[in-house]
Amino acid sequence: MDARELIVAGGRIARSPRKDERLGRRVGGLLRFVAQPSGVEREDAAARNASVSGSTGIEGNPLDVAQVEEVLAGAAVDADARHIREVENYNRALNLARDAASRRDFEWTNEIVHQINAAVMEGLPRDTHGAYRRPGEEVVVGIFTGPSPLLVPTLMQEFIDWLSRPNRTPPLVRSALLHLNVIAIHPFNDGNGRTARIVSAMELIRDGVRSPELISIEAYLRRHRDEYIDALRTTLGPSYDPDNHPVTEWLDHYTRISVDRLEARSRILDALPADIGVLHAALADAGEPVEWAVTLLAARVGRLRTASLADLTGRSAPAAR
């Protein structure tokens, strides 16, 4: 890895080449596994619900996975209209990201970042239609002060140039750096965290991951929000100064969570042909709802009718559909 490139990409990195090589082999095999069709469409949908709930929940949205499932199914949910809009927006932004990054001619541009933020914030307070911060629009988040809005266009262009250049940085590390840099530069007035988590998934899609939400890192981050914020705060420091704030701790944190989630998904799918006790244990170990066990096994055997799935899960017909 080129040291100067990684400074531009978000900070100094002091890493062991051998450690990176081992991580690359480990992650590479797991990413190839997730790139293959799982054969269980219900799990893909459940992972999407967990991803949407997790990422919006980090920002304070109170809707849980079951409520998010109902919203995305078009069912009526007794919740604040803004919270419902946040969920719908995030889901649409994920679809936009997946469709864009799946194209063979996809290239990183400022425009795609604008589009993702515009989708995340559409119709919400502080919706700027994906525009970067303008002069006078300073940002302070907790103890962190972002760079001047006058620097935002240049910083974002430098980072996009780095993403666009061929390099040997493992895809999961690029994904982690995408996440970190959007948070650090804070290019928008609002929606930076949600935008960061979506564009980081896009880098995995580019590497062939069919459904990055299967990793469900957002669900983990919602459950461990303080840990997530502490990792960002430790890495970023009090102000934007990437040359003097190594990103090693952030990369270790991000890759550990991602690899753990990938391996958890692998164990769940490996458990599907086995008995329900094995699957139940795999779900519990992964921190997923154990009630998925019956549904996953039933879906593995054959097609489930909507009414049957609704009965199995206790959900409405729209959500089951």
Domain ranges of the chain: 3-271
- Tens digit of pLDDT for each residue in 63-88? 999 999 999 999 999 999 999 999 99
CA dihedral 103, 108, 110, 111 (to 10 degrees): -10
Q: How confident is the model at residue 166 (pLDDT cuts 50, 70, 90)?
A: confident
Question: What DSSP assignment string belongs to 290-307?
Answer: TTHHHHHHHHHHSPPPHH
Measured distance CA(237)–CA(245) in Å, rounded: 7
Measured distance CA(33)–CA(172) in Å, rounded: 14
Sole residue written with tokens 């719908």: 88
> Taking Cα atoms as reference points, which of 216, 200, 201, 195 lies closest to residue 265?
216
- Position with higher pLDDT, 290 vs 52: 52
Comparing 87-101, 105-119, 191-205, 294-308, the range with the smallest average pLDDT is 294-308
Structural element, H or E, at residue 145: strand 144-145
Measured distance CA(313)–CA(8) in Å, rounded: 48
Q: How confident is the model at residue 243 (pLDDT cuts 50, 70, 90)?
A: confident
Output the pLDDT for position 38: 45
Residue 265's contacts (CB-CB under 8 Å, 6 or more residues apart) are 34, 214, 215, 216, 286
pLDDT score of 136 more than 80: yes
pLDDT score of 158 more than 90: yes
Across 96-122, average pLDDT: 96
Sole residue written with tokens 């840990």: 227
Q: How confident is the model at residue 130 (pLDDT cuts 50, 70, 90)?
A: very high
Q: How confident is the model at residue 305 (pLDDT cuts 50, 70, 90)?
A: low
Output the pLDDT for position 313: 54
Q: How confident is the model at residue 206 (pLDDT cuts 50, 70, 90)?
A: confident
Q: 141 in helix, strand or coil? A: strand
pLDDT score of 153 more than 80: yes
Specify the CATH number of the domain 3-271.
1.10.3290.10
Output the pLDDT for position 278: 52
Across 170-192, average pLDDT: 92
Long-range contacts of 166-171 (CB under 8 A, 24+ apart): 167/1, 167/2, 167/5, 168/1, 169/1, 169/5, 169/6, 170/20, 170/23, 170/24, 170/27, 170/28, 171/27, 171/31, 171/203, 171/204, 171/206, 171/207
Measured distance CA(172)–CA(28) in Å, rounded: 9
H runs (alpha helix) in 40-137: 41-58, 65-72, 81-101, 110-121
Provide the token pair at 102: 């799946």
Provide the token pair at 43: 């799990």
